[in-house]
């Protein structure tokens, strides 16, 4: 089987390489707008499925191909925090997260000519309190701007993460154990 990653995320590429998987990358361009009434699990799994379908539809030959797509979101009190629009939005998100527990959810979709498998992994993340100066300094470094919830656990934000309950790789952007299990189960 040939594996295609439907994601431009360097973190997902690194995680798949870390797992020893061989793959190519083909990105999907879909509308990622939240739909009325969607909860975080429904949202992330829908986006993963739509990304996989968009890439699969572009393929000339779908024999022996599996398309892997994923979408990660951060939620606090069932409120979805996407990627920040600007520095003020990043500060707002970090203020919401600091000193509290929140969830990171990654929807994973695997699509072949014969079947589609979808999974959502949830990890609880506990954030330490942050001062306004720490929030401003973190944002000034630019790290939060392309990440759901305005932080990356694998970067400078790690200093404020006191504990996680669940899969660390999920918080980075792809639950490796669950993804490899799904791949193993694909025909």
Q: Which residues of 118-146 are buried (b: 16+ CB within 10 A; e: fewer)?
A: bbbbbbebebeebeeebbeebbeeebbee
Helix axes 176-185, 10-18, angle to 10 degrees: 70
Contact 67, 111 (CB under 8 A): yes
Q: Which residues are known catalytic residues?
A: 71
Q: What does DSSP assign to residue 144?
A: G
Q: Which two tokens stand for residue 122?
A: 């949830």
SS3 assignment, position 6: coil
Sequence-separated (6 or more) residues with CB below 8 Å from residue 120? 41, 44, 45, 105, 106, 107, 108
Q: Which residues of 147-176 are buried (b: 16+ CB within 10 A; e: fewer)?
A: bbbbbbbbeebeebbeebeebebbbbbbbb
């Amino acid at each position: 089987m040939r594996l295609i990653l439907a994601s431009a995320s360097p973190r997902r590429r690194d995680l798949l390489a870390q797992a020893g998987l061989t793959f190519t990358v083909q990105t999907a361009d879909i509308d990622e707008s939240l739909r009325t009434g969607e909860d975080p699990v429904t949202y992330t799994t829908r986006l993963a499925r739509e990304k996989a379908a968009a890439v699969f539809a572009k393929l000339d030959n779908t024999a022996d191909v599996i398309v892997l797509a994923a979408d990660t979101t951060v939620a606090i009190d069932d409120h979805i925090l996407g990627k920040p629009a600007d520095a003020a939005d990043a500060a707002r998100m970090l203020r919401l997260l600091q000193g509290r527990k929140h969830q990171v959810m990654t929807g994973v979709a695997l699509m072949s000519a014969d079947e589609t498998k979808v999974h959502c992994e949830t990890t609880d993340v506990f954030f330490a309190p942050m001062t306004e100066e720490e929030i401003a300094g973190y944002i000034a470094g630019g790290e939060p701007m392309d990440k759901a919830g305005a932080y990356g656990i694998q970067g400078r934000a790690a200093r404020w993460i006191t504990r996680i309950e669940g899969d660390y790789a999920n918080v980075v952007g792809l639950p490796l154990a669950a993804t490899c299990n799904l791949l193993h189960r694909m025909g």
